[in-house]
Amino acid sequence: MRYRDQPTIEVTQRVGCDVRTLWEHVTDITLPARCSTELESVEWLDGSDGVEVGARFRGRSKHEAFGDWETVCEVVEVEDQRRWVWNVIGPDGVGATWGFEVEPTSDGALVRQWGRMGPGPSGLTPAIVAQPDKEARIVARRLAEWGQNMQANLEWIRSQVEG
Delimit the domains of the chain by residue range: 3-162
Query: What span, in angstroms and rounded, lies between the C-alpha atoms of 30 and 34?
Result: 7
Report in angstroms the alpha-carbon separations of 68 from 38, 60, 71.
9, 7, 10
In angstroms, the CA 101 to CA 134 distance is: 32
Q: What pLDDT was estimated at residue 40?
A: 95
Q: What is the pLDDT of residue 150?
A: 97
Q: Which amino acid is at 132?
A: P
- Single-letter code of the amino acid located at 36: S
Q: What percent of the chain has pLDDT over 90?
A: 91
pLDDT at residue 91 in the model? 85
At residue 9, the pLDDT reads: 98
What's the predicted TM-score (pTM) here?
0.94
* Separation of alpha carbons 137 and 3, rounded Å: 11
State which residues of the chain have pLDDT below 70. Answer: none
Residue 80 has a pLDDT of 97
pLDDT of 154 reads: 97
Architecture of domain 3-162: 2-Layer Sandwich (3.30)
In this structure, what are the phi and psi dihedrals at residue 140, rounded to the nearest 5 degrees? -60, -40
Decide: 100 and 84 in contact? Cβ < 8 Å.
Answer: yes
